[in-house]
Amino acid sequence: MSAKDKFHESVKKGLKKEEWVITNDPLILEFGEEDEVRIDLGAERLLAAQKKDEKIAVEIKSFLSDSALSDFHLALGQFLNYRLVLNEKDKERILYLAVPTYAYESFFQRDLPKAVIKQYQLKLIVYDPVEEVIVKWIN
Q: Span 4-32, mean pLDDT?
A: 94
pLDDT confidence bin for 3, thresholds 50/70/90: low
123/26 Cα distance (integer angstroms): 19
3-class state of residue 79 by DSSP: helix
For 33, counting Cβ atoms within 10 Å of its Cβ (0-12 exposed, 13-18 middle, 19+ buried), the class is exposed
Instruction: Note the pLDDT tens digit of each residue in 77-123.
Output: 999 999 999 999 999 999 999 999 999 999 999 999 999 999 999 99
CA 52 to chain centre: 22
139/132 Cα distance (integer angstroms): 21
Instruction: Note the pLDDT tens digit of each residue in 64-78.
Output: 999 999 999 999 999
79/96 Cα distance (integer angstroms): 8
